[in-house]
Structure 1
Amino acid sequence: MELLVAATFCCLGLSTILVFGLVFLVILRTNRPYSAQEMDQVESRASGFASQAAAGLLPWTSLGDLSCQWHGTVSGLIIGEYRGIIKSLSNPNAPGLLACYLSLKGRQGFLHLRTSAHEARLDIKADVAQVTVGGRLLGSIRLDEGIIFDSGGQPIGRYHRHRGWRWRIGSTPLSSRYGPVELYGRMVAEVNDGLARSGPWSGDAARRPLVRNLAPNLAPDEEGWLLAIAGLEFYHWANRHRNRPRHTF
């Protein structure tokens, strides 16, 4: 009997050590930077998803036609993978307007955005997102403060994203909040921080614009920055979904 009890405790101890060891290995691998091979695989999957999704996207109309609702899939453990399409306000039953592919590993991320008229990528490291639109580097965004820099490192604007906690059902906020985006000395739009995944708890997300109060005669760079900032809301949704500390600028 004593031998059986000892064997049981021994098995429990070994099982506990094994579980903690596996958890430690997952955390260790998650916090490592992408290897060159991992990044090649991520970029290949992003390109494949974007090409496939682009065939079904609505013709591009305006940033103001993006809704606060997206649909798609979530997968991955060490490297989180999020594939989604942000829906259209004017045609909510259609596939959507903006395809988003996001890979997250630790404090790093890779976000690929595609519309019928645009292609962009955001390389995220710690609290900085480097923004490339149409193959041209626009600059970067400090995720902790929302400060926007041009490709030469000079500040050119800011996204005043709301800070603080608020009531949610799952990952869907119960209130709608917009933050102004300033570029080159003027307010070019307001962006909503309440992007929601389609489902029974998405509320009125399909009827809320993701981007509103667009300034007239947007320059191509301004439109590119707004597309990137709208896409970053997909990144923020993923951070909330993973229950990790999120940037709030």
Structure 2
Amino acid sequence: MALLPVCLLGLCGMVVFVAAGLFLFRALKHTPTARPKDDDVFLMQARENLLPWDSDPLEDLAACWQGQWNIASGVGMRGWARGAVKSLGQPEAEGYLAFSLDRPEAKIAHLSIWTSNEEIAMEFHLEKTFPIHGEALIRVNNQTFGRIHIPEGELFDATGNPAGGYKRSATVIHSARRVPDSYRPVTMHDRTIAELTSVWMRQPYRFRGRYYRAITPLPAPWPALRHIRAGLDPDETTWLLAVIGLELFYNATMQGDNW
């Protein structure tokens, strides 16, 4: 009788071992495809249809992007995503920002963001993936612009001097009720220039490798930014686009299959 608990313990251990092996096999078997070969064409067409960035559209940016993605869940967090950030006032339009994300390895990712007149490239180099620790290097129109330390949210300019900060919210529950709690200040030289949300929607939904429109109505999109300071200079606007890029990276690769 004394051997019975030992046998049960051994049996439980075998079950856990087999389950872990099956999970690992499934994760590796479903490794996502590489960056699509038509990505450059997709982005060129998307950029041609972007809403013009000739006024001040920051207040009209929705915390919602529409596009495609294929990200491995569980092991590795590798894959790709591409799409456009939508407009609140013109939801049927292409949007203001087109982007492409390529994450060939868990600790390396490349994100490109286009407006109608600017290109921002971000290279993510991560030391840890759970939780994320590392930095994002930023280039604007092929010129070094700065970097973001993750997760501290410290912003540094091209010369390495402190430029500001953005400590993103830890809110990851995808619920419209959590949106008001998800905004965090973006500061430049000790001044708050805007607040950015960390809760974003993706459209269409993805389920088991296929793409679907939502069956139930989605909530109306909410602003990506709020309390935007008047009279932003070009560098401040670019920093806001860079921290939006940080949120796109998190949303596309870290927050599950749906919004």
* Alignment TM-score > 0.5, same fold: yes
- Equivalent residue, structure 1, for 2:130: none
1:234 to 232, 248, 253: 248
- Equivalent residue, structure 1, for 2:195: 190
Contact conserved, 2:196 with 2:226, CA < 8 A, in 1?
A: yes
1:94 Cα offset (Å): 1.1
1:71 counterpart SS class: strand
- Equivalent residue, structure 2, for 1:209: 223
Contact conserved, 1:179 with 1:190, CA < 8 A, in 2?
A: yes
1:178 to 172, 178, 183: 183
- Equivalent residue, structure 2, for 1:7: none
- Equivalent residue, structure 1, for 2:169: 162
- Equivalent residue, structure 2, for 1:151: 158
Contact conserved, 1:166 with 1:173, CA < 8 A, in 2?
A: no
Contact conserved, 1:50 with 1:99, CA < 8 A, in 2?
A: yes
Percent identity between the two aligned chains: 31
Listed as ranges, the matches of 1:59-138 within 5 Å are 59-60=52-53, 61=55, 62-75=57-70, 77=72, 79-104=78-103, 105-126=105-126, 127-138=134-145
Contact conserved, 2:71 with 2:253, CA < 8 A, in 1?
A: no
Are residues 228 and 26 of structure 1, via their aligned partners in 2, closer, same or farther at CA, if it must alter by over 3 Å?
same
Contact conserved, 1:195 with 1:205, CA < 8 A, in 2?
A: no
1:111 counterpart SS class: strand
1:241 Cα offset (Å): 3.7
1:135 Cα offset (Å): 2.0
Does 2:46 align with 1:53?
yes
Are residues 95 and 124 of structure 1, via their aligned partners in 2, closer, same or farther at CA, if it must alter by over 3 Å?
same
1:210 Cα offset (Å): 0.4
Cα distance in 1 for partners of 2:66, 2:202 equals 6
Contact conserved, 1:66 with 1:86, CA < 8 A, in 2?
A: yes
Write the deviation string for residues 142-164 of structure 1: whole angstroms up to 9, x where unpaired. 1211000111222111002123x
1:76 Cα offset (Å): 5.7
1:99 Cα offset (Å): 0.7
- Equivalent residue, structure 2, for 1:13: none
Could you list the runs of 5+ residues in structure 1 that have no partner in the other structure?
A: 1-15, 31-40, 244-249
Write the deviation string for residues 101-124 of structure 1: whole angstroms up to 9, x where unpaired. 111121211000011122111000
Contact conserved, 2:165 with 2:186, CA < 8 A, in 1?
A: yes
1:138 Cα offset (Å): 1.2
The range that moved more, 232-241 or 220-229, is 232-241
1:44 Cα offset (Å): 8.1
Q: What letter matches 2:224 in structure 1?
A: L
Cα distance in 1 for partners of 2:156, 2:36 equals 25
Contact conserved, 1:100 with 1:111, CA < 8 A, in 2?
A: yes
User: How many pairs are equivalent?
Assistant: 212
Contact conserved, 2:82 with 2:99, CA < 8 A, in 1?
A: yes
Are residues 228 and 48 of structure 1, via their aligned partners in 2, closer, same or farther at CA, if it must alter by over 3 Å?
farther
